[in-house]
Amino acid sequence: MEKFKLSKDVYVETVAIRIKEVDEMINFYKNVLGFVLKLEENNLSIFGSLKKDSRLLILEETEVENELMKSNENSICFSLLIPTLEEFSSLLRRITVHNYPIMGAVQLGSRKSIFLSDPEGNRIEVSYEEGIESPVREKEELDIADLIKNSKVLYSSLSSGVRLDRVQLFVNDVAEHFQFYQDMLGMIPQQDRTDKLTLDNHNFSIHLEKSEIMKPQKSEDEALGIDFFVLNVDHEDEMVRLKNHLEEHEQDFFIDNKKTILTIYDPSNIEWWFVRN
């Protein structure tokens, strides 16, 4: 029997993170990285780009125990792909103007990347990738000073072309998560890897990394870090197909009567929202 696969146009639209210090985190994402604050409602701060309905990031204020605050056991590393070199260089200039520490700057093939951590330890990769794949795959140090020097246009906010393109999850059992994402959610293994999967016609990748902290599989407590993902589904047929697949495998999930929202928890208790607009 052919394995279930999600449609090629299903993509990760939003990452939601539980946080402690709201003002500090809003300042970082809005003023340092240039996210557009779309809405503040109850304990949620919703960010996007200049694109009208963009929702790239949700910060959820959460009260957690001190022990969990220190461990930040659900920390995440996600990547923002910037559409032009001009905007990428402008963002580098913005970050340095705020004197925010950059942890690393590399070029791998045609992909230029910098790495930094938000005030609560979640790691962010900010990247620009040339349209033509480079045959050179050796990692090189990226000269950000030269890029900043040649930056002529200041972008006040993330442009409409900015999107999420990678996420790294730290999990107890890489093999268990890999199997769940492939067999239950229909993600596609990346080449012969057993720790990487793809979505959105290979435009989004998930990298599974063994966690250094042993995390409880199910817990009533809420830790800082990743809470849920929102995936965009264009067609009702795709939602029905996913629903039928999960029922066949007797997998717990929720779906509303109109088949506009389907939610499911993975082995790390991260919630995946499939939303049809």
Question: pLDDT at position 139, please?
Answer: 87
**Percent of the chain whose pLDDT exceeds 90:** 76
User: Is 80 exceeded by the pLDDT of residue 136?
Assistant: no
Query: Angle at CA 11, nearest 5°, toward 82 and 205?
Result: 65
Mean pLDDT of 47-58: 96
Name which residue leads in pLDDT, 159 or 277: 159
Please state, in angstroms and rounded to a whole number, the distance separating the CA atoms of residues 161 and 13: 13
Mean pLDDT of 73-88: 88
User: Is 70 exceeded by the pLDDT of residue 56?
Assistant: yes
Question: pLDDT at position 142, please?
Answer: 95
Question: pLDDT at position 150, please?
Answer: 86
Three-state secondary-structure class, residue 104: strand
Q: Which domains does the chain have, with CATH numbers?
A: 14-224 (3.10.180.10)
Q: What is the mean pLDDT of the chain?
A: 89
For the ranges 62-71, 84-93, 229-238, the lowest mean pLDDT is seen at 62-71
Question: pLDDT at position 140, please?
Answer: 93
Question: pLDDT at position 2, please?
Answer: 77
Q: β-pairing, 123-129 with 44-48?
A: unpaired
**Interacting residues of 173 by C-beta distance below 8 A, sequence separation 6+:** 267
User: Is 90 exceeded by the pLDDT of residue 270?
Assistant: yes
